[in-house]
Amino acid sequence: MRLFRHHTYLPDDARGAVVAIGNFDGIHRGHQAIIGEAGRIARATGRRLAVLTFEPHPRQVFQPGAPPYRLTPLRIKARYIEELGVDDLFVLHFDEALAAVGAEGFVMDILVGDLAAHSVVVGYNFTFGHRRQGNVELLQALAEREGFGLTSVSPVESAEGITFSSTVIRDLLQRGEPARAAALLGRFWEIEGRVEGGEKRGRTIGFPTANVPLGDYIVPAHGVYAVRAGVDQGAETVWHNGAANLGRRPTVDGRSVTLEVHLFDFDRDIYGEHLRVALVERLRAEKKFDGLDALKAQIARDCDAARAVLARLAADPAAGVGGERVES
């Protein structure tokens, strides 16, 4: 997949594609349906499949002091988009200047002028342009006038009757329900980052941890989780079972929110390496213990509980969560 951080002066073979447009934070099953429909049209017409998205997230521009919000930072979002068979990814820099572009100007200058889009595919509730003045109805009128195709994808629901939505997924994570979030995503939600050096307190009580910064990720409910952790080995990611604490570590007077991951039956030094941490199930809320001995005993119980959860997953990986297939 080719990544373009601009939309002007494109090579000829990057123009004339079928373009799926959206913020696509999370690349959940609703987003996958939009990109999948664009792929179907691209195959039928012999065109390239492209995705047009925006960075940073508009919330970071309009609410710069707001808490972290992202489900998928750009690097991670791009990986999931590439896995969907996309040929070209256009990433428009979202700032006040782009936000000020009118709806018709966005279509004429970018979609028609720069990308020369053959067809455009969006979600049913897509809005665009200055103050979100553009909607699917306006886009349809402009498509008919300018001669490009337009497809609006209807809402897609889970087996529980929940419309796939980044907002709903964020809410589930913040309520400590990663399994239900996974059913909407189509995979377990992950935090990915470079392992940082910590205080090494876990090593002294027999449970060494890898510390992963949260960065711009949304912060899920604090607590202890059963996790699957992917360690890079060359071009491959090797997955390991583990347990993780996400929170402020009240027993040791921690102040900042950290993600500390203990990998089972693992003793390799991975400081400085990238680690993917998939939240499988929240085991309990974070709490303060009366000293390190009580904490150590609880961690041992947490690890036993995590092993049991992950053993059930290994026994029936195709079943996923809530009766839907979930991959990690």
Write down the pLDDT at residue 253.
Answer: 63
Q: Quickly state the pLDDT bin for 169 (edges 50, 70, 90).
A: very high
Distance CA 313, CA 295 (A): 27
Reply yes or no on whether 260 is catalytic: yes
Q: Fill in the amino acid letter for 252.
A: V
Task: Round the average pLDDT of the chain to a whole number and report it.
Answer: 90
| Model pLDDT for residues 21-59, shown as the tens digit of each residue | 999 999 999 999 999 999 999 999 999 999 999 999 888
| Model pLDDT for residues 179-234, shown as the tens digit of each residue | 999 999 999 999 999 998 766 555 556 688 899 999 889 999 999 999 999 998 77
Q: Give CATH 2.40.30.30 domain extents, the chain.
A: 166-315
Distance CA 178, CA 277 (A): 12
Contact between 182 and 71 under an 8 Å Cβ cutoff? The reply is: no
Per-residue DSSP letter, 158: -
Per-residue DSSP letter, 13: G
Distance CA 84, CA 80 (A): 7
* 65-83: average pLDDT: 93
> Coil, strand or helix: which one is 248?
coil
Identify which of 291, 62, 163 has the alpha carbon closest to the alpha carbon of residue 299. Answer: 291
The string of DSSP letters for 229-240 reads EEEEETTEEEEE
- Counting Cα atoms < 13 Å in the Cβ hemisphere of 53 gives 24
Write the class of the CATH domain 166-315: mainly beta
CB-count burial class (<10 Å; 0-12, 13-18, 19+) for 50: buried
State which fold the 2-153 domain adopts: Rossmann fold (3.40.50)
Q: Quickly state the pLDDT bin for 324 (edges 50, 70, 90).
A: very low
Contact between 104 and 142 under an 8 Å Cβ cutoff? The reply is: yes
The string of DSSP letters for 251-293 reads GGT--S-EEEEEETT-----TTSEEEEEEEEEEE-----SSHH
Write down the pLDDT at residue 204.
Answer: 57
Q: Give CATH 3.40.50.620 domain extents, the chain.
A: 2-153
Write down the pLDDT at residue 117.
Answer: 98
pTM over 0.95: no
Write down the pLDDT at residue 322.
Answer: 42
Residue 85 has a CB neighbour count (10 Å cut-off) of 13
Pick 217 or 321 by higher pLDDT: 217
pLDDT score of 323 more than 80: no
| Model pLDDT for residues 118-167, shown as the tens digit of each residue | 999 999 999 999 989 999 999 999 999 999 999 999 998 888 888 899 99
Helix axes 166-174, 178-185, angle to 10 degrees: 160
Q: Fill in the amino acid letter for 40.
A: R
Residue tagged active-site, from 157, 260, 281, 327 = 260
> Residue 228: CB partners within 8 Å, gap ≥ 6?
188, 239, 240, 241, 242, 277, 278, 280, 310, 328
pLDDT score of 311 more than 60: yes
